[in-house]
């Protein structure tokens, strides 16, 4: 190690320790580079824990059957649709909490947090009832074969029925991020995914008195792991171990605050409904090519999450920086933070794309030895990796809009990129021109590139600086 590298290491290491301890939560002053580093490190580690779990989960389930893997792909495409409401609410919570923290209004941040949690519970209860009662019908609508439904409906039933654990976990973490407590969000996911990884093989394959549940065991492990993390989050909020402390007297419905959150979240809800519904249509097209092709696609997407999640971590850092700096009346600092974060994210994603382009088939082969599965999964990884640098900027800029409370602009961008371009293009190439799954892969990459270009052009216009939340 050179003396220059040694000096850099000695300079960054204390910041790294400070970041994971969460000693700093206001990022409206000082070095922007340091602010990005302090926020990104816990957020990247948080997202890496999530992506590690996604990889481990699919590795275990791949040992059950091809249908089990396909079940996860179909179920997750549906659950992301119903979570669009929760994700939109999370965007609103992050934007409002960050803006209040930046302005020094802790009480306002606390009120927004409480109302967001109440709304999240209401959504989760409705989704849970519908998902539990109609799991088979949901899989049938997604084009699943009868054998897949018979084997996998229990997974769908439990994951949708217990969705409150997943929804609250990410919603409360969004509150922590807005408050600048990124390290708290990180540690909750360490707990959640650590438990998931340990419990997955126990419930999937059976251990001691616990019977073998197959793919349904993955859902059981998820509910236990994430449910435990939610209890930990609530303990943090109630005991005041973060910037925001909630007391029993604070847990009341405040319709004005709740309505404001709903208004801010509408753009985010529409934004993700557009994005996730397009994903469902893509899965529906993929199901036409059989379970093996669908399984390859599902494995590839899970592998991609391993790198997209850390990238989302940096994007979430941009959202917090934008929200806090706008709250502190520093729009130019907010804009500079976004472009710098995008540059760092693009560098990271560029390296990852090279790895996927070279080793795609080997990576998919670690999870399944079926030739058709490996061929389609590897090809999916390679084609989508071609657009990774564009994804890097697209994710950061989109989250910057959301952090500013301007959820309407990303909604318009998603509408153009996904519904007006991706879906027609995917159907034409895959079905009309008979390119099969390759047509879907190309459509995904082309749409994400288009999204990034439009987002950067509109971001430069600066209308997001004038949004009030």
With H, G, I as helix, E, B as strand and everything else as coil, classify residue 108: helix
pLDDT at residue number 401: 95
Quickly tell me which residue has 């994903």 as its tokens. Answer: 279
pLDDT at residue number 358: 94
- How far is 246 from 265, CA to CA, in rounded Å? 22
Angstrom distances, CA of residue 23 to CA of 38, 39, 183, 198, 326: 10, 11, 9, 30, 22
pLDDT at residue number 83: 73
With H, G, I as helix, E, B as strand and everything else as coil, classify residue 275: helix
Q: Which two tokens stand for residue 211?
A: 């019977």
pLDDT at residue number 70: 83
- How far is 113 from 68, CA to CA, in rounded Å? 37
pLDDT at residue number 369: 82
pLDDT at residue number 200: 92
- How far is 166 from 187, CA to CA, in rounded Å? 15
Instruction: Assess contact for 57 and 196: CB atoms under 8 A.
Output: yes
Quickly tell me which residue has 């990459």 as its tokens. Answer: 445
- Neighbour tally for 343: CB within 10 Å: 13
pLDDT at residue number 103: 86
- How far is 57 from 192, CA to CA, in rounded Å? 13
Please, what is the Cα angle at 244 between 241 and 250, to 5 degrees?
A: 115
Q: Which two tokens stand for residue 250?
A: 């604070």
Residuewise pLDDT in 10s, the chain (469 residues): 555 556 555 666 777 777 777 666 667 887 888 888 888 888 888 777 776 777 778 788 888 888 888 888 788 777 776 677 777 888 889 889 988 998 889 999 999 999 999 999 998 999 899 989 999 998 888 787 888 888 889 999 999 999 999 889 989 998 998 888 888 888 898 899 889 989 999 999 998 899 999 989 999 999 999 999 999 999 999 988 888 999 989 999 999 999 988 888 888 888 878 877 787 788 888 888 888 888 888 888 878 877 787 788 889 889 999 999 999 899 999 999 999 999 999 999 999 999 999 999 999 998 888 888 899 999 999 999 999 999 999 999 999 999 998 988 999 999 999 999 999 999 999 888 888 889 999 999 999 999 999 999 999 999 999 888 7
- How far is 164 from 126, CA to CA, in rounded Å? 10
* Three-class SS of 382-413: HHHHCCHHHHHHHHHHHHHHHHCCCCHHHHHH
Q: Which two tokens stand for residue 378?
A: 């590897």
Length of the chain: 469
- How far is 85 from 247, CA to CA, in rounded Å? 26
Biggest CA pair distance of the chain: 64
pLDDT at residue number 370: 87
247: left (phi over 0), alpha (psi -120 to 50) or beta: beta
CA proximity to 414, closest of 270, 309, 310 = 270
Instruction: Assess contact for 359 and 416: CB atoms under 8 A.
Output: no
pLDDT at residue number 383: 94
Judge if pTM exceeds 0.85: no
């Amino acid at each position: 190690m050179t003396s220059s590298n040694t000096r850099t290491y000695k300079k960054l290491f204390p910041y790294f320790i400070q970041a994971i301890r969460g000693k700093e939560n206001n990022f409206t002053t000082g070095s922007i580079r340091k602010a990005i580093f302090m926020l990104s490190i816990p957020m990247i580690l948080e997202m890496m824990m999530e992506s590690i779990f996604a990889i481990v989960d699919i590795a275990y389930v791949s040992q059950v059957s091809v249908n089990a893997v396909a079940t996860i792909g179909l179920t997750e495409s549906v659950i992301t649709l119903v979570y669009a409401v929760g994700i939109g609410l999370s965007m609103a919570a992050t934007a409002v909490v960050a803006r209040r923290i930046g302005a020094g209004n802790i009480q306002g941040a606390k009120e927004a947090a409480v109302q967001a949690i109440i709304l999240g519970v209401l959504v989760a209860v409705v989704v849970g009832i519908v998902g539990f009662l109609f799991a088979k019908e949901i899989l049938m609508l997604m084009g699943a074969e009868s054998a897949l439904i018979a084997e996998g409906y229990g997974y769908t039933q439990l994951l949708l029925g217990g969705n409150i654990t997943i929804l609250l976990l990410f919603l409360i973490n969004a509150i922590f991020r807005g408050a600048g407590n990124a390290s708290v969000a990180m540690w909750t996911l360490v707990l959640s995914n650590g438990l998931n990884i340990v419990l997955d093989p126990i419930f999937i394959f059976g251990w001691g008195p616990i019977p073998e549940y197959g793919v349904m065991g993955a859902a059981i492990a998820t509910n236990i792991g994430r449910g435990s993390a939610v209890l930990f989050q609530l303990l943090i909020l109630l005991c005041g171990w973060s910037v925001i402390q909630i007391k029993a007297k604070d847990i009341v419905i405040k319709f004005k605050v709740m309505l404001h959150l709903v208004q801010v979240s509408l753009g985010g809800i529409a934004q993700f409904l557009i994005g996730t519904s397009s994903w469902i249509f893509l899965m529906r097209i993929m199901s036409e090519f059989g379970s093996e092709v669908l399984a390859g696609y599902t494995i590839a997407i899970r592998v991609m999450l391993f790198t997209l999640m850390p990238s989302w971590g940096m994007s979430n850092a941009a959202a917090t920086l934008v929200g806090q700096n706008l709250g502190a009346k520093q729009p130019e600092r907010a804009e500079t933070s976004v472009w710098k974060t995008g540059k760092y994210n693009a560098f990271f994603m560029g390296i990852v794309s090279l790895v996927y382009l070279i080793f795609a088939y080997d990576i998919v082969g670690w999870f399944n030895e079926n030739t058709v599965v490996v061929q389609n999964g590897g090809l999916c990884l390679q084609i989508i990796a071609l657009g990774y640098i564009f994804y890097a900027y697209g994710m950061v800029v989109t989250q910057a809009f959301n952090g500013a409370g301007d959820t309407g602009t990303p909604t318009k961008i998603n509408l153009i990129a996904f519904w007006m371009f991706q879906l027609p293009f995917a159907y034409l190439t895959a079905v009309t021109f008979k390119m099969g799954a390759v047509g879907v892969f190309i459509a995904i990459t082309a749409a994400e590139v288009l999204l990034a270009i439009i987002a950067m052009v509109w971001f430069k216009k600066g209308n997001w600086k004038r949004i009030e939340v």
